[in-house]
Structure 1
């Protein structure tokens, strides 16, 4: 099939049709930047050809060089056969207007938290200038830490991860955005060894329960296991965060955590906590907010 395609397909339109058919035939799983074969194919083709990823129409009928066709077909086949997430093939992931380097040392950025930084938090953080210190737990690629620095220009940001490999990737992104003086990368396990206190703490921790880890599609198995699973019910890391966050929040400080599909389990485990569930593009059951005062009250202090 590959040789026939290479000798027959000549335009971006040809390759797009072929890619969609190939992806549908392979029964791929999506969720690392797109949710269907067409969008995945468009992104991979434009990125491989070094074309603007938001401008397909002007290039649809462009005839391609033989080497360009080969490069695109190679990427299509790797996606279809090896089931590698698109972001790992291009070494690029997007959140809003922000682009990040990624590879298989980190999960592909897809947290809803980035949608909530800045104006959506105004009911709890009246002015962005009030955030002088911020913490990103389980920073991975550093994507959320970098966006913290963008939304809160007066803030120094600590970005924590237990994985040295992940912090190497985060370092690439921090340097790429010229934020070495504002984003401090720390190798530790959640709050262990931290001494500062913060006005805002965010976290997209591991939250996949054991049963779901065992059933993950092949695409997700390319991601670091350490960044996905978190105990039997998926809440091991979240429990630690809830138990310790008050000690690291300033008065009126805010905690923002993503927990996947674990809302019901979490609320049952912490029935006295007044979780505020924030609206995101995925719905209102994925990211919760608590204040320091909420967390202190839970401990009966």
Structure 2
């Protein structure tokens, strides 16, 4: 079929239709930036052809060269055959207007905390310039650390991850944004390498997939590092450790903000006396909680 496409398809419109058909036929899973075959195919083709990502319409009836068709068909084939998230094929992921380099050493960036940082955590933080120390736990590609650096320009940021491979990706992104003077990358297990350090704000998007969900993940998610996904039987192992260690690393009146996926009910059952504040995001108010230092269990 792909050999036939190489000789019979000519325009971007042809290739886009072909990609959507093949993606639907293969029953791909879309959850790493797009939620449907059309959007993902359009992004993948535009990126592969070095065209503006926001300008599909003017190019739809442009005829591709033989080499361009071959390149596009190759990436379509890899998406289907290897079940790779599209971000690993393009080596980029986006959070709003911010672009990040990614590969299979890190999970594909996707965090509701990013939305909250774009608003400087209003109304929970009154003066963004008064935030001088931020900790980003489980930083991965450093995407949230970079967003925090832009949200709180006076802050020095420690970005921590247990994986040296992930930190190599983080270093590339920090350097791409010229933020090495503001963001310090730290290898370690949560707070272990931070003795004596205190912060105005701690943010974390830790692993939070429970054992039952890990066993049924779509193949695309299985291409991501398991270390960055799995968090014990109920998905709360890392969140418990963060709650246990955060107090001694927060300044008076400081904040802890943590993303926990679909685990709100389990978390509230595990900590019934803790007054979690659930923050509104584009997907609802059950994915990210906030606690003041004196509210920690």
TM-score bracket for this pair, using the shorter chain length: over 0.9
Runs of 4+ in 1 over 3 A off after TM superposition: none
Partner of 1:10: 10
TM-score by length of 1: 0.97
1:245 aligns with 2:251: no
Hey, what's the Cα distance between the residues in 2 that align with 1:9 and 1:200? 54
1:209 aligns with 2:184: no
Confirm or deny: 8 A CA contact 2:135 2:203 kept in the other structure.
Answer: yes
Partner of 1:219: 220
Confirm or deny: 8 A CA contact 2:276 2:289 kept in the other structure.
Answer: yes
Alignment CA distance shift 1:292-1:69 (3 Å): same
**Structure 1: any 5+ residue segments left out of the alignment?**
none
Partner of 2:281: 280
Q: What are the equivalent positions in structure 2 for 1:255-294 lying under 5 Å apart?
A: 255-294=256-295
Hey, what's the Cα distance between the residues in 2 that align with 1:41 and 1:220? 18
1:99 aligns with 2:86: no
Confirm or deny: 8 A CA contact 2:275 2:291 kept in the other structure.
Answer: yes
Hey, what's the Cα distance between the residues in 2 that align with 1:59 and 1:119? 35
Secondary structure of 1:89's partner? helix
Partner of 2:49: 49
1:162 aligns with 2:162: yes
Hey, what's the Cα distance between the residues in 1 that align with 2:44 and 2:119? 33
**Structure 2: any 5+ residue segments left out of the alignment?**
none
Confirm or deny: 8 A CA contact 2:247 2:293 kept in the other structure.
Answer: yes
Confirm or deny: 8 A CA contact 1:118 1:152 kept in the other structure.
Answer: no
Secondary structure of 1:135's partner? strand
1:198 aligns with 2:199: yes
Partner of 2:71: 71
1:152 aligns with 2:155: no
Offset at residue 120 of structure 1 (A): 5.7
Offset at residue 122 of structure 1 (A): 2.4
Q: Could you report, residue by residue, the CA deviation over 1:194-219 in whole angstroms, capped at 9, with x for unpaired residues? A: 03100010000000001100111100
Q: How many equivalent residue pairs?
A: 296
Q: CA RMSD in A?
A: 0.8
TM-score by length of 2: 0.98
Offset at residue 193 of structure 1 (A): 2.3
1:182 aligns with 2:182: yes
Q: What are the equivalent positions in structure 2 for 1:109-124 lying under 5 Å apart?
A: 109-119=109-119, 121-124=121-124
